[in-house]
Amino acid sequence: MKLLRQALEQGSCILREEATDIQSVFRDVLALVVERGLLAAEDQQQVLSVLSERERLSSTAIGHAVAVPHAYLGCFKQQVIVPVRLTHAINLGAPDGIPTQFIFVLLGPDDGTVDHIDTLMHVARLMADDEFRYEAGEAKSSQEMLAALDRFLVRTAPKPPTEEPEVVDGLTYTGRLFGGIRADIARRLPHYWSDFTDGLHSKCVGSTLFLLFACLAPAVTFGGVLAVATDGEIGAVEMIAATAICGIIYAFISGQPLIILGGTGPLLVFTVILYELCAELQIDFLPARAWIGLWTMLFVFLMAATDSSCLIRFFTRFTDETFSALISLIFIYQAVLALVEIFQKLDIGMHHDTALLSLLLALGTFFIAMSLSRFRRSSYLLPWMREFLADFGPTIAIAAMTLVAISLKEVFLDVLPAPEEFGTTTGRSWLVDMWSTPMWVRWASAGPALLVALLVYLDQNITGRLVNSRDHRLKKGEAYHLDLFVVGGLIGICSVFGLPWLVAATVRSLNHVRSLATSEEVVSPSGQRRERVIHVRENRVTSLTIHVLIGLSLLLLPWLKVIPMAVLYGLFLFMGVVSMAGNQFFERLSLWLKEPTLYPATHYIRRVPTWTIHKFTLLQAACLAVLWAVKGSFMGILFPLFIALLVPIRFLAGRFFAEKHLAALDAEEEPEEEASAWI
């Protein structure tokens, strides 16, 4: 490591190498070595021949975009290392098939074998670090590379034995009133300014445009459903306004701005049941709902003040994956159901052209978005073009399919049901007359509010756990208690103005994280390829911009009505399928259809008997089926309780599964040996 530091300090590195073949790289490196006085000019050709012959006999690419060519000759008096970062990765025949972007050329005297092995070990260890590899790819000078090296050394330095382990999960009980909130603020405040500066990047533009439609479509859709279910008491305008206002406030003062607030299915179900109950009791819906919302705010405040979010640490991967799978399936189901309903309307006069074009637009949006999102690893076009197409894939898909629909204007299509002008759906006053309800309603509202508070607690914290998953490699820290407190306050504000309640939306939040992620392709020992996140551009700019644009959409309502609903159904399908990525439950579920001898060599397959894996997956699938059934039944209001029951079910599983097997199947993240198996 000392040799590498010395090379960086002296500027003996090439960070913008335009070469497209290894021979050109060798010539540029040797020219630099000669310029530095470390090699005589007359010996340059000899070293080039040795490097070339070594590369011809066997590729020096070790995988994960790294190669270490070397030559040891008597013309060198000391060991030399020259780091090279290629502008365009080249295929050197690496074991994992991934093109090489980083080349560390090792040169030295012919008796430097021991030093060579030591340096090779340090390079492999350094490049195995995802964060350093990302920073090395972004560095613009040798000084920035040196700073990244220093951060790596600090990050991986062994801790003194007497030092207490650092708490990084934000879920440690403080025992003090508002202690967790104060700790969250102390953890996130130092990063507040960088949350804005880190958002000034082209990747954030693609994320903003993608999430704009991904957030606007559910807002309009949920608003339309609420308008029908509540006779216009709450509609699309209220949902869009609430999404914009709450999103802007949350982007500014939340602890984890990567979380996206939105309407959710369980809250929608509760609102509809509440409206029907108010109709039966002949009491005004909005005033009663306002009191329930204020009680909910009080309960959520108490939860946040007493560090109740710490209990979420008992929610293991089992719970997170089941909940995430449910939300993903809801998005896919809603998209498919909407398309099926279009074809069902053929019996009542809808033209076949409309149904067929709607299906083609939805599938076209899904196919283009999926294809472009994977284009980053393609061998076509230049790297910046591939990156652009991958980041803007969903936006390009929406625009392309909308243009197709416009060009086929002879076919009638349902378009985004945006309202014509800004205002409440029924023309009522924005401020709810809370004092028009009887006194008993104001106190009785505390009962339903407990269920709403439990639902908000589960939705917010489970989504927070999924966003803050170690697989996403976030660096700025969590803020469970602060975020819960902020959401509680926003629910109170929305209740007073007759706006829908919003909470962390799982699929939108996960898509927000993935749209800001820099990923790399990794290959398992069995040859299985998958994407792994190495860095996420954590910022507040994307969330803030998304919700400002959603607010501005209220001024551009006629333009939104150009977008066909079928295109948005395709976007729903894309969001649901993409959010399945990384969900180990779906990976294990797919094993039921595979030949056992061809199972991938994952950590749990190597450690757990096959039948035990299937039993654990079956238990998870049964829990998912129950949640799905409850969601759509008359017991939908009790949905939060069934989610909470996943925790004791997971604990009871310890009686039927060996602890070592559960530790592998329910591990919070993949073991380190899988992440570094390529070294």
Neighbours of 501 (CB within 10 A): 27
Integer Cα distance of 573 and 665 in angstroms: 28
pLDDT reading at 167 higher than 60: no
Which CATH code is given to the segment(s) 2-156? 3.40.930.10
pLDDT reading at 14 higher than 60: yes
| pTM reported for the whole predicted model | 0.74
Q: What is the pLDDT of residue 305?
A: 94
pLDDT reading at 182 higher than 50: yes
- As given in the structure block, the two tokens for residue 447 are 């009962």
- pLDDT band at residue 200 using 50, 70 and 90 as cut-offs: confident
Q: What is the pLDDT of residue 229?
A: 76
Q: What is the pLDDT of residue 527?
A: 53
Mean pLDDT, range 603-625, rounded to an integer: 88
Neighbours of 121 (CB within 10 A): 12
User: Cα-Cα-Cα-Cα dihedral of 259, 263, 264, 268, to 10°?
Assistant: 160
Interval 89-130: pLDDT, tens: 888 888 777 788 898 888 888 776 677 778 888 888 888 887
Q: What is the pLDDT of residue 162?
A: 45
- Looking at the chain, the domain(s) classified CATH 3.40.930.10 span 2-156
What are the phi and psi torsion angles at 17 (to 5°)? -75, 120
Integer Cα distance of 149 and 483 in angstroms: 34
Coil, helix or strand for 95?
A: coil
Coil, helix or strand for 520?
A: strand
Could you please report the per-residue DSSP string of 17-62?
E--SSHHHHHHHHHHHHHHTTSS-GGGHHHHHHHHHHHHHHS--EE
Q: What is the pLDDT of residue 368?
A: 92
pLDDT reading at 168 higher than 50: no
What is the share, in percent, of the chain residues with pLDDT greater than 90? 20
Integer Cα distance of 404 and 364 in angstroms: 10
H-helix or E-strand containing 657?
none
Mean pLDDT, range 620-632, rounded to an integer: 87
Interval 320-341: pLDDT, tens: 888 888 878 887 887 888 888 8
Q: What is the pLDDT of residue 677?
A: 32
**Low-confidence winner among 255-259, 522-526, 539-543, 576-580 (lowest mean pLDDT):** 522-526
Amino acid at residue number 674: E
Quote the DSSP letter at residue 380: S
- As given in the structure block, the two tokens for residue 185 are 């603020």
- pLDDT band at residue 195 using 50, 70 and 90 as cut-offs: very high
pLDDT reading at 674 higher than 60: no
Interval 455-465: pLDDT, tens: 899 889 988 98
Integer Cα distance of 72 and 92 in angstroms: 21
**Which are the contacts of 357, defined by CB distance < 8 A and separation ≥ 6?**
405, 408, 411, 413, 566
Mean pLDDT, range 442-446, rounded to an integer: 91
- pLDDT band at residue 347 using 50, 70 and 90 as cut-offs: low
- pLDDT band at residue 164 using 50, 70 and 90 as cut-offs: very low
Q: What is the pLDDT of residue 524?
A: 55
- pLDDT band at residue 679 using 50, 70 and 90 as cut-offs: very low
Q: What is the pLDDT of residue 487?
A: 96
Integer Cα distance of 29 and 631 in angstroms: 63
Is 285 within 8 Å of 500 (Cβ atoms)?
Answer: no
For 541-674, where are the E strands, in sequence order? none
Is 321 within 8 Å of 506 (Cβ atoms)?
Answer: no
- pLDDT band at residue 349 using 50, 70 and 90 as cut-offs: low
What residue spans of 230-316 are helical by DSSP H?
236-253, 265-281, 285-305
